[in-house]
A and B are shown apart, each in its own frame.
Chain A
Amino acid sequence: GENVEQHPSTLSVQEGDSAVIKCTYSDSASNYFPWYKQELGKGPQLIIDIRSNVGEKKDQRIAVTLNKTAKHFSLHITETQPEDSAVYFCAATDQTGANNLFFGTGTRLTVIP
């Protein structure tokens, strides 16, 4: 099955700075790459996703880039705010094209006021 690796495991940034989280995947047939934000005591919340037919997608302060050749994708958060503090997970589908998602191990982002 798909293997998704995520780095870094923890990230601390000053409020207003940018944060970047990177993921790699193993299955070249993967075609969907979502990012989830999980706050303490809550379920993962879908914040942005990208499909394999585009290289970049942006939604206000967050953006995701995809390099299919290198099999990696990244989450970019600009102008970080304390409420961005959470655990972020990347995920990817596998070659079956089914709805199964394989998740990275998560990045704990702390935004320091």
Chain B
Amino acid sequence: DAGVIQSPRHEVTEMGQEVTLRCKPISGHNSLFWYRQTMMRGLELLIYFNNNVPIDDSGMPEDRFSAKMPNASFSTLKIQPSEPRDSAVYFCASSFGLVSYEQYFGPGTRLTVT
């Protein structure tokens, strides 16, 4: 079975540019999570969807960040405009059901903003 798929795996962009990260959750999972990992702050939850609806976006750092889940098999995290401090590894994770907590992570996207 395919796990969580993320693309691209690496992204290098210049400050001010728009960045779009993509995620395909595990088939059948109906909860999707976006995390950011940095040395300074560790793993932080950015936003969480259930049945394609955003449930908690309190972790989204600024209005420059937005996330969508147009259908059960696809989600995007967009940063516009990007800044050097956005450089991090962004992970997508998915889980099944409202009461099942096992989250399965994708391989991550390493973002570098110069």
Contact = CB atoms under 8 A, between A and B. Distances in A.
Interface of A: 32, 34, 36, 41-46, 49, 89, 93, 98-106
Interface residues of B, number: 22
A37 to B, nearest CB: 11
B104 interface: yes
29 contacts: A32-B101, A36-B105, A41-B107, A42-B108, A43-B93, A43-B106, A43-B108, A44-B43, A44-B91, A46-B103, A46-B104, A46-B105, A49-B101, A93-B101, A98-B55, A98-B56, A99-B31, A99-B33, A99-B50, A99-B98, A99-B101, A100-B33, A100-B56, A101-B45, A101-B101, A103-B42, A104-B42, A105-B42, A106-B42
A44 B104 CA distance: 8
- Interface residues of chain A: helix, strand, loop or mixed (majority): loop
Given A44-B43, A89-B43, A99 B103 contact: yes
Nearest to A105: B42
Contact of A100 (B4, B42, B48, B105): B48
